[in-house]
Amino acid sequence: MNVARFEGKTVIVTGAGSGIGKATAVRVANEGGKVVAADVVADRLDELKAENPSADIVTVVGDIRSDDDIAAILAAAGGPVQGLANVAGVMDSFQPAHEIDWAQWDFVLAVNLTATAKLMAAVLPGMLDADAGSIVNVSSEAGLRGSAAGAAYTASKHAVIGLSKNSAVMYGKKGIRVNVVAPGAVQTNIQASFASALAGEVLGPLMQVVIPGVAQPEELAASIAWLLSDDSSNVNGAVLANDGGWSAV
């Protein structure tokens, strides 16, 4: 592995205060990159900085649903952005369509899909100017099947894949690659609860049988860093299932 794969590059990582986002931010910084680490929780970003004092990490506390906060994230880069890892996400409460909590639906779609699209829109003009760039969007096993979450989360993560594939086609000949990582079960602090008896009845037994195991955030960060780097220069529009084989079941 080239330990300086990101030397001279600036990469924005959302959800960087914990879990997959934090592991990705640390990995990119350790490989020579400047990281703009964004998260909605200030204490988590303070811990990230304290734990990595020599890393080139600029932290931005902000809500990626906010246009102003997205602008602040872009401004913190202080120049061209070569990479974007859209990691931040929220879970639903496993409600099927007839039980959707519409306030939660709006929140989940706003964070998981709309903010992902807006962050892409923010970095793409600079990437187009440079004829180069790499974007990695985090979907989920729920983006590949209907048995991993509720209707809101499943819809949002399927849509992230569609957004990414469309963008891969639109920008591929401009030197910009857009790929997806689809995690399975990962040891993170994302909160999820079964608020539906139907979901518990239908999905509970399935999850006990088919989930191969729980991955560590660093295992996902390895895939994200690879897709962000020039090591994957011929990969565009791909959906990489980093799920321990769940998608093969």
Q: Which residues are catalytic?
A: 139, 153, 157
Beta pairing, strands 133-138 & 83-86: parallel
With the CA atoms of 40, 44, 45 and 50 taken in that order, what torsion angle do they form, in degrees rounded to the nearest 10? 170
**Which residues share a beta bridge with 25?**
none
Taking alpha carbons only, the member of 101, 226, 103, 114 closest to residue 163 is: 114
Q: How far apart are CA 2 and CA 162, in angstroms?
A: 31
The token duo for 232 is 């994957």
5, 106, 148, 243 from 246: Cα distances, Å = 30, 28, 10, 5
Q: How far apart are CA 14 and CA 214, in angstroms?
A: 22
Could you tell me if 173 and 127 are in contact, meaning their C-beta atoms sit under 8 angstroms apart? no
